[in-house]
Amino acid sequence: MKDLPDGNRTPVIDTSVHIFFRSNDDMRSFLKEPFKSRGIPDAEMDWYGAPGGEYVKGARGPHRGYPGSDPDFVGQQLFGERGVDVAVLHPMTRGVLPDRHLDTAVLSAHNDMMVTRWLDTGTYHERFRGTLRVNPDDISGALREIDRLGDHPRIVQLGIPLQSREVYGKPQFWPLWEAAAAANLPVATHIETGESIGYPPTPSGHTRTYEQYYGFMGLNYIYHLMNMIAEGVFERYPNLKFVWGDGGADMLTPFTWRMDTFGRPHLEQTPWAPRIPSDYLPGHIYFVHATIDGPGDAPFAAEWLDFTGKDDMVMFGSSYPHWHSGDIDTLPAALTAEQREKLCWRNAARLYSIDIDAVTAVG
């Protein structure tokens, strides 16, 4: 529970906690041949490095381990110091690899590490939830991974990279979305770390600086989302839910207005998606919301969050241990009590079927 400035307390579900292996050798210990001895990129994206360093101060802990690799230390920082009640883990891997089979093996190793160290054992394992990493460039491998671990009681979503060769509404991805909907697992899309294929962050190519890179990358969530709506993905799979895991809600409203304005008079041309685009947002679309999203601590923040029904879509995520990690203390003061409650825990509890009363009672 988190103490608020007004004297009230609120539960907190942190929907974006990034976890890593302790080292490259540690990762290889979870791999088998022929992949164990392959060349695999590092975990950090050196071609767009954050100017002040990738991680928050103190994230390495007393033993100077890799940030986000020690379940006890991460649990202490989140649950003991930040007032978090439940943390949804998102394993950060090595980027989009050219060899889809190697990529699937690396993702599977991260899943095994998460399950064995974070979800099944440890001081805080009952308060962690997991993201099962799957490879959308290897559909058969992704489906095998869902069959292998998708029914684990603490795995609450699938995880795929934002960076992709194609937008996610294309038919080659549909078997994966069908499997996700059938398993009742939301799909979380997140900017992938790792020194691998360097897809440009804009349709016109690479930017010059990290600030431009990070500022523009959120647009790719909107490209994927609007393509999925236009291709009728949510009409085809009415139970499918998508989480855009690294911001982007602040771009949703203007793009939705634009799509609706064009879409209304032309619905007869898209019988596979017969409703206006904004009709597909409720119940399907969620955004992880952090300190760098939206208008900041502005007096109109509540009105802004209400546009396009965003207050039912946003979920707090700290992005711990990355440099922009924040907590709910930095949320705009102008938010209503109901909006703050939805953002801090209620939307996430509904999406991930988390019994927050049971968790806070144990915590």
Best CA proximity match to 320, nearest among 17, 12, 15: 17
Helix (H) or strand (E) holding 187: strand 187-190
Whether residue 223 contacts residue 252, with contact meaning beta carbons closer than 8 Å, is answered with no
Q: What is the mean pLDDT of the chain?
A: 91
**Segment 249-264 mean pLDDT:** 87
Reduced to 3 states (helix: H, G, I; strand: E, B; else coil), residue 157 is strand
Output the pLDDT for position 46. 65
Mean pLDDT, residues 110-121? 98
At which residue do the structure tokens 């991974």 appear? 145
Q: What is the pLDDT of residue 178?
A: 98
Q: What is the pLDDT of residue 230?
A: 92
What pTM was computed for the model?
0.94
Q: Binning pLDDT at 50, 70 and 90, where does residue 7 land?
A: confident
Q: Report whether pLDDT(290) > 90.
A: no
Confidence of residue 157 (pLDDT cuts 50, 70, 90): very high
How confident is the model at residue 361, as a pLDDT? 67
- In the predicted structure, residue 54 carries a pLDDT above the cut 90: no
- If pLDDT is split at 50, 70 and 90, which confidence band does 328 have? confident
Q: What is the pLDDT of residue 291?
A: 72
pLDDT at 113 over 90: yes
Distance CA 184, CA 353 (A): 10
Q: Which residue has the higher pLDDT, 55 or 33?
A: 33
Strands 13-19 and 86-91: parallel
Count Cα neighbours of 242 within 13 Å in the Cβ-side half-sphere. Answer: 29
